[in-house]
Amino acid sequence: MSEKTKFWMLAVLLALSIGLLVYLFQATQNAPL
């Protein structure tokens, strides 16, 4: 696997991780308790 392909895979993983964190910030703030 080329380094450039690895870069895109890692970039997608990082975006997903940050997306999950942002979602959790939002979801827990508006949780019933």
Partner 1 sequence: MQDRTWRKINIGLLVAIVLVNLYTMLLPAIPALRYWWQAGHSKTKVTATVEQYVKATTPQANSEQSTPTEDMSGNRLIIPRMLMNTKIVEGPTSNPYGNLKKGAWRLPFSSTPDKGGNTVIAGHRFTYTESRSIFYYLDKLQVGDEIGVQWNGTTYTYKVVSTSVVPPTETSVQAATDDNRLTLYTCTPVWNPKNRLVVVAKPIGVNE
Helix (H, G, I), strand (E, B) or coil at 16: helix
Q: Which of residues 1-33 bind partner 1 (CB under 8 A)?
A: 3-4, 6-7, 10-11, 13-14, 17-18, 20-21, 24-25, 28-33
CA pair distance 27, 14, nearest whole angstrom: 20
In whole angstroms, how close is the CB of 29 to partner 1 at the nearest point?
A: 5
20: left (phi over 0), alpha (psi -120 to 50) or beta: alpha
In whole angstroms, how close is the CB of 18 to partner 1 at the nearest point?
A: 6
Applying CB under 8 A, the residues found at the interface with partner 1 are 3-4, 6-7, 10-11, 13-14, 17-18, 20-21, 24-25, 28-33
